[in-house]
Amino acid sequence: MELWLGGSFLLLMSGAGPLAILSGVLAMTGLRFLVWNFPSATIFVGDTGSGFIGLILAGLALIAGWHQPELF
């Protein structure tokens, strides 16, 4: 989750506002998931959920690299 927040901060500082918002939303959903699962596992993401999160992160990395190559 720190990676998502750090990525959101870097995107915001580089001028990629919409990507920073998307990365921040992804971080906040991860935080919400942590709140529900911290005491005991009550929600299970599974392979499909983790695959979707990985796909979103890969897409964000590619779009950030297209926007500004130093971010890739």
Q: What DSSP line would sit under the chain, residue for residue?
A: -HHHHHHHHHHHHTT-HHHHHHHHHHHHHHHHHHHHHSSS-----HHHHHHHHHHHHHHHHHHHHHH-GGG-
The tokens for 18 are 């919409």
Q: Any known ligand binding at 47?
A: yes
Residues tagged in the binding site annotation for Mg(2+)? 47
Residues tagged in the binding site annotation? 47
